[in-house]
Structure 1
Amino acid sequence: MTDHDDRPPNIPGQRQEPSAPNGQDLNFPPLPGPFIEEKEPRLAALREWWDHAWSDGGFLHDRWEDLRQAPELGWHSMANWVKVAIGLAGICAVIILLDTATDVLADSIRTLLTAVPHVQVGTDTSTGVFAVVDQPIRSYIAAHSATLPISASTVYTVWQTVGLFGLVGGFFRSSGARITWTAFGACSIAMVYSAAPADGRTIATGLAVLAWTAASAFALRGLTLRPSVFIHNAAPSIENRPEIPPAAPLAPEVPENVHPLQKR
């Protein structure tokens, strides 16, 4: 007795479905295929946005027009965002300059404070036009500051600082700085005249006067000795008088016994 097989014949190249025991086929649900969503490429979307932004009325096109017309419109008529950008750029530049200037000033002050005790006043052997004025001042300070509670080097540094303050402050038309500069020049000339060698005292004093005068062109900028004359022109007085209309001409008086002619 032969067994009856209900399975389909094995055909080459055809997938055989699994069969259950006892000759029963298993019905498996179909496997879901891969879920594919059509998306627009990002590069194409970016190119579309770029073209739209530079088209007439687009965001980037309008901003470029604001920049292009800014020099012609001037500060008051240019776009507000351009003003804000220029203001922020200026503020950043000022902050950078102030930061750099602060570092330089701090280094200069630190150098002065650390170098003051090592400055040998009165023993400088430098030569030149500046030394003709500077050496007598150093010698005068060294000779007259021995009994002071501060060193001669500190006095010399203070003298230089006061002169720099008077020069810079006078350039910006500060009255106090100009007075300081005038006193600084007078004291410097007096020290040069007192401490310079007797043979070259006249030349050293003359050079000190010329140097102070030349520097005064910056410190006393805009100062004039001509008195200011203010001419005040009195404005014509205007009185508000009410306008009176001219009186009407009076009719001639007619005697009582005269009657006008009447037509009948």
Structure 2
Amino acid sequence: MSTDTTAPARPAPIEDTDARWAPMLNEWAGDLWRRFHRTRNSDDWPPEWLLPAAGVAGMLLVALLLFGLVLPLLRWIGRFLVDAVDDGLGWLHDWNLTHVVLDPVREYLTAHSAGLPIDAQTLWWTWCTAGIGLFAFAFLWRAVAARLGWVLFGAATVAMVWATTTGPARTTTAGIAALWWIALSLFALRRPWTQQRVTVHLPELPWLARILQRGE
């Protein structure tokens, strides 16, 4: 009985045929690829180092995405939100746009309150209370009368702003008043969330009933 003691063939060594770095790198890469291909066809595949190497590469990729893309994006979003909130708080603190609408209405009511049994201050607060009440009834209970009153209230407000403001700013102030009213009307005149179902009863058709009875 003879045994084969022939040693397994070793890969051919890299021949140093060219001292330049590009050919040497090409030969080294070809030898590495041949070694990898032989190992893949053997029973020792996958090698023990492959899974840890893949895990480390995945962690490095996740870290690269996290620190290179996600964190700068989150930092930019946070800075944008802080600036937006700061600007919004400054706008609310100013209330300049509300003064554009409210001041002309108050001046109009003050100028046209002569001869009434109430003073201009009471007339002004009555007007404000009426607007808040109409908006509340139209928004919460969707009352038809409140919605009609809200439409008339908005039209009268825009008309008073137009009549009181003089000069080139008249159109601008009336437009701002209409914009405020439209924005609030999105809530006051909204449609109900639930869809109403309508049941329609069709009239009886005697001739169709007779045809169906004959078919049976």
Normalising by structure 2, we get a TM-score of 0.46
Instruction: Tell me which of the two structures has the higher relative contact order, counting C-alpha pairs closer than 8 angstroms and 6 or more residues apart.
Output: 2
Normalising by structure 1, we get a TM-score of 0.38
Instruction: Mark the structure with the bigger radius of gyration.
Output: 1
Q: Which is helix-richer, 1 or 2? A: 2
